Structure formats: C-alpha cells, structure tokens
Amino acid sequence: MTEKQFWCLVNEIQAKNRPKLLAMECIHSDDPLELEEAKRIDKENTRLGEDLEDLTYTQLKEAAQLIFDKNVSLKCKEMIIMSLAHSPYKFALKTLRKYNNAPDKELRYFSEFALQECQWNSR
C-alpha cells in the first residue's frame, strides 16, 4: 500500500461514515448559522480515529508498513499509529514496539503513548 492508497482508503471510509465532511478553514462566511454548522462538521472530523476502526485486518497490516517509510508524511504516520494503538490485532503491538525502537523524532512521544495505549488495550 502506498501513502496515496492509504488516504484514498481513509476518504472512502469517511465518505461512507460521514458523507458531509468539511474543514473549518474552507468556510469563509460571517453567517452565524453557516459557521455553527461548519464547527459541528469540523468536530465530526476529529472522529477520524473512529472511522479508521473500519479498516480491515489486511488493510491495517498493509498500512502499518508505511510508518517505517521515511518518505511517508508524518500526518499519515500519525493516523496509522493511532489506528494501531486502538487495534485488537496482535501484530499492532508488535509493529508499534518495532517502530518505537527508531521512531521519527517528531513522533517520538506520540508513538510512545500509542504503544502504551496498545499495551493497555491488549490486556
């Protein structure tokens, strides 16, 4: 799986779960009702982690390999690490342990917390 394929998959899942997603920065209006709706939709965007729970075993296992690729964006890695942290699969814990041996410096703390979360969830 490539990073582009991962984001396409995320978009498909989001479209299925929340067909009307908009980013707050895309709203340029002084209309209070429009701004309130944009805030509500933006709040739904924060539930991306919940959407990623819809990844199948195979999809998550393929995506997990992207966190070791230095050419993959940090945002993509964050999404995958978050998915692994909440995954019920044993490979997720193994993958996060391996990643934490040599994480991207910008994701060091994030990946440590994800590993702890995964360890806690796997009990």
The domain limits of the chain are 3-121
More confident residue, 92 or 30: 92
Rounded Cα distance between 77 and 67, Å, is 5
For position 2, what pLDDT does the model report?
92
For position 25, what pLDDT does the model report?
42
The first and second tokens of residue 119, run together, are 């360890």
Question: Considering the chain, what percentage of its residues have pLDDT values greater than 90?
Answer: 46
For position 22, what pLDDT does the model report?
43
For position 55, what pLDDT does the model report?
86
Rounded Cα distance between 35 and 54, Å, is 29
Mean pLDDT lowest for which of 41-50, 54-63, 91-100?
A: 41-50
